């Protein structure tokens, strides 16, 4: 999908339009409005950040003071201004990814496509990338962001073999899991030996001093289960419910088989 949207690959079916212009391998006009940040680092590591950006700016047809202004903006936005004259080979992985973003912004694109831009980066660079994207989005830029880090997203579109199988808010996407309430009960001490079935639950597992209870109806069955634990001589330290993770939803919708 990324290759089709950026005009690198011709679609087998359907058409992509950007501002009313068809996007494709032979469509130069709309490509000028797209900034692409690839998953693989696309930089010349033997030269510094300034020279990298001058080179990529020239590919976009930029020159003179306008190019200098765009370079300064990109370095400022990505927090690399103080390291602009250092060879890229000396950069951390996070710094390289931020420079990749600066390169994609030189020509002031309307659509910014980022393919897993936070893979392998440190927390500081990750936050810097998010901050930069929020600023760009606030200025009216459209951002297409792909990730396998489920915690990064607030609205989710799950794709499987090129087909969107779900598109929901975080709360909505979690509701796609089979209905189940998991309650984690931390005990004061680990139970001695295996526990018989606990009243009020559909099942349970024990991990040290923590018992995971599967509850059908929290308001009805949880008090019964907690009373049953007390009757077994077990003292509760804390009780917490656990939501299904986005990773669990993804695997539920797409299966667990490996894919390339």
Tens of pLDDT, residues 162-219: 788 777 766 676 676 665 678 899 999 988 887 888 988 888 899 899 999 888 888 8
Query: Domain range for residue 123?
Result: 2-169
213-219 contact pairs (CB < 8 A, 24+):
213/182, 213/183, 213/184, 213/185, 214/180, 214/181, 214/182, 215/181, 215/182, 215/183, 216/181, 217/181, 218/181, 218/183
Q: What is the per-residue pLDDT for 87?
A: 95
Q: What is the per-residue pLDDT for 260?
A: 55
- CA separation (Å) from 41 to 84, 93, 103, 123, 144? 17, 9, 11, 18, 18
DSSP β-ladder status, 163-169 and 210-215: unpaired
Q: Does one domain contain both 226 and 121?
A: no
d(CA 84, CA 47): 10
Domain boundary residue, one of 144, 169, 194: 169
Residue 259 lies in a domain: no
Q: Does one domain contain both 108 and 236?
A: no
Q: What is the per-residue pLDDT for 107?
A: 95
Residue 226 lies in a domain: yes
Q: What is the per-residue pLDDT for 258?
A: 57
Q: Does one domain contain both 159 and 207?
A: no
Q: Does one domain contain both 139 and 90?
A: yes
The CATH number of residue 112's host domain is 3.40.50.300
Q: Does one domain contain both 165 and 216?
A: no
Q: Does one domain contain both 119 and 228?
A: no
Q: What is the per-residue pLDDT for 127?
A: 85
The CATH number of residue 210's host domain is 3.30.70.2470
Indicate the pTM of the whole model: 0.65
Residue 235 lies in a domain: yes
Residue 251 lies in a domain: no
Domain boundary residue, one of 148, 169, 190: 169
Residue 254 lies in a domain: no
Q: Does one domain contain both 32 and 104?
A: yes
Binned average pLDDT, 10 residues per bin, the chain of 260 residues: 91 91 90 92 95 96 96 94 95 92 95 90 84 90 85 70 74 66 89 86 89 87 91 91 72 68
Domain boundary residue, one of 145, 169, 193: 169
Q: What is the per-residue pLDDT for 62?
A: 95
Q: Does one domain contain both 138 and 64?
A: yes
Residue 87 lies in a domain: yes
Domain count, the chain: 2
Q: Does one domain contain both 149 and 226?
A: no
Residue 39 lies in a domain: yes
Q: Does one domain contain both 15 and 96?
A: yes
Q: Does one domain contain both 193 and 221?
A: yes
Residue 202 lies in a domain: yes
Q: Does one domain contain both 22 and 54?
A: yes
User: Which residues, other chains included, contact 201 with Cβ-Cβ below 8 Å and sequence gap of 6+?
Assistant: 213, 214, 215, 221, 225
């Amino acid at each position: 999908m990324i290759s089709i949207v950026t005009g690198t690959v011709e679609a087998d079916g359907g058409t992509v339009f950007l501002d009313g212009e068809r996007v494709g391998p032979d469509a130069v006009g709309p490509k000028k409005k797209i900034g692409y940040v690839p998953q693989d680092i696309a930089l010349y590591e033997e030269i510094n950040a300034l020279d990298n950006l001058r080179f990529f700016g020239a590919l976009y047809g930029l020159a003179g003071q306008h190019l200098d202004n765009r370079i300064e903006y990109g370095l400022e936005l990505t927090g690399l201004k103080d390291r602009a004259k250092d060879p890229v080979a000396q950069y951390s992985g996070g710094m390289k990814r931020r420079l990749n973003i600066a390169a994609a912004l030189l020509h002031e694109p309307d659509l910014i496509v980022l393919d897993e831009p936070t893979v392998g980066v440190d927390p500081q660079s990750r936050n810097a990338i998010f901050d930069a994207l929020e600023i760009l989005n606030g200025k009216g830029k459209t951002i297409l962001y792909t990730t396998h880090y489920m915690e990064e997203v607030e609205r989710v579109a799950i794709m499987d073999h090129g087909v969107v199988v779900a598109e929901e808010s975080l709360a909505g996407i979690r509701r796609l899991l089979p209905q189940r309430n998991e309650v984690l009960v931390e005990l004061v001490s680990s139970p001695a030996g295996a526990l018989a079935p606990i009243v009020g639950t559909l099942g349970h597992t024990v991990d040290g001093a923590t018992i995971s209870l599967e509850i059908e109806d929290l308001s009805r069955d949880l008090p019964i289960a907690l009373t049953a634990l007390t009757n077994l001589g077990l003292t509760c330290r804390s009780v917490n419910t656990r939501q299904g993770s986005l990773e669990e939803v993804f695997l539920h919708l797409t299966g667990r088989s490996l894919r390339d």
